Structure 1
């Protein structure tokens, strides 16, 4: 029985001497598209016009005016397209594999997107599920907020994850990927909204059971992990979601994505363990980068990065984003290194700093000496922990994926899970993993904007990684993102 998310993380750690191979049940491969039988999707207008902005502009822009977003269905269509869309296809067996604008471990895409809309021109008030396959909307509830609509227009997004999609391949470890992938999608939504002049208020704190029931989810299979609101009204929509009636069983059953599903107990139990919210002391914790264990002898302030070497605008970076592994040993130009560091610096909030610490393994990148560094986003400085080559050892730790040794940089997202659980309870794990996914999405899009490769890695021998990175006993590597020049086809 999982009663702690740190316990969950330890129990799903990979050990080189205890790895058990397992085959995949191809007869019950989960569908990556959620459908609601009997509910025909409402087609959205053709998206566009698109913002002509660079990603660097979006990450640097100041807090936006809450009233900057125009509430109409055409703008919503564009927002959803930039957030979560099909961007290409390739033949796979007897069918096709569809690329998406956000990355996903194993291309299993556990994340789903819902929203409530009130006062949005061209769309009836209600709760909707976004169909990425059809670029359309499933109407699940009409006027779900009742009297809350009197407070003014609102647009609130709910990001969920379907356990079995990830667990089909990764079994009990799948909850890690559900959280990371939801973080990818959340950051994609934030950037898409920002490109259209809208700010978002994001939270991982909400009444889980009430929200899951409102969305009509089978909580053994699908759960809400994050909420994001366009703050147009004084009170949060979460405060006016009623104790809603249960949706029809057909709608609840839509959380099932294969004829025969195995319910893996560890992800379900870990999620339930983290359903209570413990936020008594609102004072922020010290930055996580100073609580990991290793400490640089000195910190070097990073230069001011006025421009990146961006070769495409934000919209085209979204559409061209791929997980690229064909790295080769070529020096990464200094402007590209600056762009990657600047993207993380500008995209890191105070919230991120207290939950996740960032490290960098440098191989062949600009003028930096090869070695292991920590990044302090608040002081915008970099400190070397240890000089020397690390890439081959880390590739060996990442399940012997040799191609990782050719990357120019490995970005490392780490957290003291014991301290987070002590302060925030098991829900602290959710905060850290979501933030790690958000930072990964920034790196993916930053790399795409500069025409270089990027690939996230959540599979590694956990204890070996902890020892290599000299992390404290309760501190763990959560996510690794490799970046570097790639061979062109």
Structure 2
């Protein structure tokens, strides 16, 4: 068998977990990755802290975010940017773990390693000079990396005021998860993307998400060390109607100094995993033209026996989005407690709306499944969720939560969840349609929907905890997937003790 990881199917197979075949791995705590990039002394713009957050109901916001992007209702300035970054990625609490501070954040992350970074290219923002900036979460500030006009990457037919870039630093996750870490880097970037999408909608900003772009050009613009950090998502923020015409072309700038590029190194002792390098480089864009499947769902081989229509959901009162975001945590102290069909429908509604507002250029490439436990209003078993018809299709009957908990590296607390939300795809089909970049699309989308699952559970007072550590083939067989089908991500959901 080839050890190359240059396709989605090869990488997913090579980094799969198999029972009894996991190589022991001790964490190198002396060289744990730094949570912030160590930039040299550069000019900074502090964000204002006396922010006025928009008051918006969570259910209304999700509904608006699933619709077509309107013309911007808000001009971009420093105050608006501050609110945008605060609603996207913020520290929500602080505690001490031994003698080290730990910062809770508004975004879910595998192992709380937070491998992503955010950058801002300013083209036409009131009160902020044109250039490229890095977002410093901990100081709530922008660090200037470039001064002056910069090229619009990727191109746009509309006038763009600014572009936000999401990157992933591979070793932040690989320190713990080794070659499998690329999965978690993408899932976590997807978590961040969904927060960004909701924040932009809440602030009335017009935008367009791009997951297909020239990787090398973006890396050069941001000053990334391409062996350590890669661009994953670009989001254009449009100018209001007052801004007329497209931006004037700007030549690609000179490379940034080495000390800026060296900031992609986050540990004195880093390990390079070939499989991560291969799959990321193999997916360099622009992506090849899809082979006629760009709007066709990727099927994991599920064929429901019968369908159950969900009732119209009726959210219980106003749920302030900003407060909800601050309350989000990974919680798994599940308790056996029945949930109603109305509550199940209220949970699944944001999933359906978020699928309709997909950020991917590929149509639906992730199927959503559900493993129901005894406390759910449907019979225990496996179901396919149809987001367009708002219905559940039964795939198999019987108690499956405990078996899935075992397939998730014997994390037996998962059997106490009310249900497991499943994100499933077919890596081989991704290769055939979009090449290696299709893997990015699928994992980003699974992470994006997973973040929405955290928020929807929190709104109902439930717990949610995401799992990417899976005995891959064991889980696929349990779910009756095709030979090439794969469970990308699982989120345990349910009522909590003491709630």
Output aligned runs, 1:233-382, within 5 Å. Answer: 240=249, 242-276=251-285, 277-281=287-291, 284-288=294-298, 291-305=299-313, 307-309=314-316, 312-349=319-356, 351=360, 354-382=364-392
Task: Give the one of 164, 168, 171 matched to 2:171.
Answer: 164
Q: Does 1:184 align with 2:194?
A: no
1, 4, 7: which one pairs with 2:7?
Answer: 4
Q: Distance in 2 between matches of 1:150 and 1:412?
A: 37
CA distance in 1, matches of 2:250, 2:32: 35
Deviations 1:89-122 (Å, cap 9, x if unpaired)?
1111212100110010000000000011222112
2-structure distance, mates of 1:301, 1:149: 41
> The residue matched to 1:399 in structure 2 has which SS?
coil
Q: Gaps spanning 5+ residues in structure 2: where?
A: none
Post-superposition offset of 1:282: 6.0
Task: Give the Å deviation of 1:281.
Answer: 4.8
Counterpart for residue 35 of structure 2: 32
Counterpart Cα distance in 1 of 2:460 and 2:127: 37
Q: Which runs of 5+ in 1 are unaligned?
A: none
What is the match of residue 112 of structure 1?
117
Change (3 A) 1:226 1:86: same
CA contact (8 A) 2:373 2:417 kept: yes
Residue 211 of structure 1: CA displacement? Answer: 0.5
Aligned length: 485
Q: Corresponding residue for 2:143?
A: 138
Shift of 1:47: 5.1
Please report how far the alpha carbon of residue 365 of structure 1 lies from its aligned counterpart in structure 2 after TM superposition: 4.6
Residues 412-457 of structure 1: CA deviation (Å, up to 9, x unaligned): 0010111111011111111000000000010111112222101110
Q: Secondary structure at 2:364's aligned position in 1? A: helix
Alignment counterpart, residue 103 of structure 1, candidates 84, 96, 108: 108
Give the deviation of 1:354 after TM superposition.
2.1
Please name the residue that 1:426 is paired with.
436
Quick check: 116-125 or 393-402, which moved more? 116-125
**Cα pair distance change 1:146/1:377, threshold 3 Å:** closer
Aligned partner (choices 228, 235, 239) of residue 235 of structure 2: 228
Q: Given the superposition, is the C-alpha separation of residues 396 and 92 from structure 1 closer, same or farther in structure 2, using an over 3 Å criterion? A: same
Pick from 63, 70, 74: which aligns with 1:60?
63
Q: Distance in 1 between matches of 2:471 and 2:442?
A: 19
After superposition, where does 1:431-470 map in structure 2 within 5 Å? 431-470=441-480
Report the secondary structure of 1:348's partner residue: helix
The 3 A distance-change label for structure 1 pair 479 and 240 is farther
Of 123-132 and 345-354, more deviation after overlay is shown by: 345-354
In the alignment, the residues of structure 1 paired with residue 449 and residue 257 of structure 2 have an alpha-carbon distance, to the nearest angstrom, of: 37
Question: Deviation per CA, 1:341-381, whole angstroms, max 9, x where unpaired?
Answer: 10100111364752100100111454211110001112222
2:494 alignment counterpart: 484
SS at match of 1:299: strand
Q: How large is the RMSD of aligned CA atoms in angstroms?
A: 2.2
Structure 1 length as normaliser, TM-score? Answer: 0.94
1:47 and 1:189 mapped to 2: Cα distance? 20
1:143 CA drift (Å): 2.1
C-alpha spacing 1:281/1:72, structure 2 compared with 1 (3 Å): same
Assess, with a 3 A threshold, how the Cα gap between structure 1 residues 236 and 133 changes in structure 2: closer, same or farther: farther
Q: Which residue of 1 aligns with 2:128?
A: 123
62-71 vs 178-187, greater mean Cα deviation: 62-71
Matched residue SS, 1:229: strand
Q: Compute the displacement of 1:215 (Å).
A: 0.6
Measure, in 1, the Cα distance between the counterparts of 2:227 and 2:462: 39
Q: Distance in 1 between matches of 2:249 and 2:99?
A: 47
Deviations 1:245-294 (A, max 9, x none): 11000000000111111111111111001114112456634323xx2112
Contact 1:47 1:78 in 2 (8 A): no
> Secondary structure at the residue paired with 2:344?
helix
Contact in 2 for aligned 1:332/1:364 (Cα 8 Å): no
SS of 2:201's equivalent in the other structure is helix
CA deviations 1:24-58 (Å, max 9, x no partner) are 00010001112312125321011521111121111
Contact 1:68–1:197 at 8 Å: present in 2 too?
A: yes
Please give the alpha-carbon distance, in whole angstroms, between the structure 2 residues aligned to 1:302 and 1:34.
46
**Cα distance change on mapping 1:476 and 1:234 into 2, 3 Å:** farther
Are the counterparts in 2 of residues 311 and 451 from structure 1 also a CA contact under 8 Å?
Answer: no
Report the Cα distance in structure 2 between the residues aligned to 1:169 and 1:161, rounded to whole angstroms.
Answer: 15
Whether contact under 8 Å (2:372, 2:381) holds in the other structure is: yes
3-state SS of the aligned residue for 2:306? Answer: coil
Shift of 1:471: 0.3
